[in-house]
Structure 1
Amino acid sequence: MDLLDRITIDPAIRFGKPCVRGTRLTVGDVLGTLAAGCSETELLEDFPQLSHEDVLACMAFAAERERTLMVSTGVG
């Protein structure tokens, strides 16, 4: 399974935010928790429905979104 297959977008779940498959945890929830200083071990203890691969999938999703981000320079 490709890591990105672990991330789903469903308008009926969390307002269409990207979520870890089978959960209501958003990519932003996972990455925000890690960015706040929580270790992956602590995250996985707090959310036993997540796996290491789910955390990697969140990072891969964010990296892919960053690569495809369109930047407007405001120059017309």
Structure 2
Amino acid sequence: MTPADLLQRITIRPEQCGGRPCIRGMRIRVIDVLELLAAGESQAQILEDYPYLESEDIAACLLYAARRLNHPNVAA
């Protein structure tokens, strides 16, 4: 799966979750998955706890976050 394919799994709709990025139009936010990973949950455990998620969804969350953070910060 290409990076572009992964990023298509991330949806942003103003009427859903306050316009926050979600996975495939579901009400699970990118931040929810990232926080689970940061808390030490394994990908396998996340997929077990959320059976409607796919491993590509987790990869999409990580790629989305990486892309959002990859911008220059200019000091004034």
Q: Given the two structures, how large is their TM-score scaled by the length of structure 2? A: 0.88
Tell me the secondary structure at the aligned position of residue 15 of structure 1: helix
Question: Which structure 2 residue ranges, 5 or more long, are not aligned?
Answer: none
- Report the CA distance between 1:23 and its aligned residue: 1.1
Find out whether 1:13 has 2:11 as its counterpart: no
Query: After TM superposition, where is structure 1 displaced by more than 6 Å over at least 4 residues in a row?
Result: none
- Report the CA distance between 1:26 and its aligned residue: 0.6
One of 66, 70, 73 as aligned partner of 1:71? 73
Counting aligned pairs with the same residue, the percent is 49
- Report the CA distance between 1:22 and its aligned residue: 3.0
- Superposed CA RMSD in Å reads 1.3
Question: Within 5 A, what are the aligned runs for 1:1-76?
Answer: 2-68=5-71, 71=73, 73=75, 75=76
> One-letter code of the match for 2:73?
V
- Report the CA distance between 1:20 and its aligned residue: 0.3
Number of equivalences? 73
Please tell me whether Structure 1 or Structure 2 has the larger radius of gyration of its CA atoms: 1
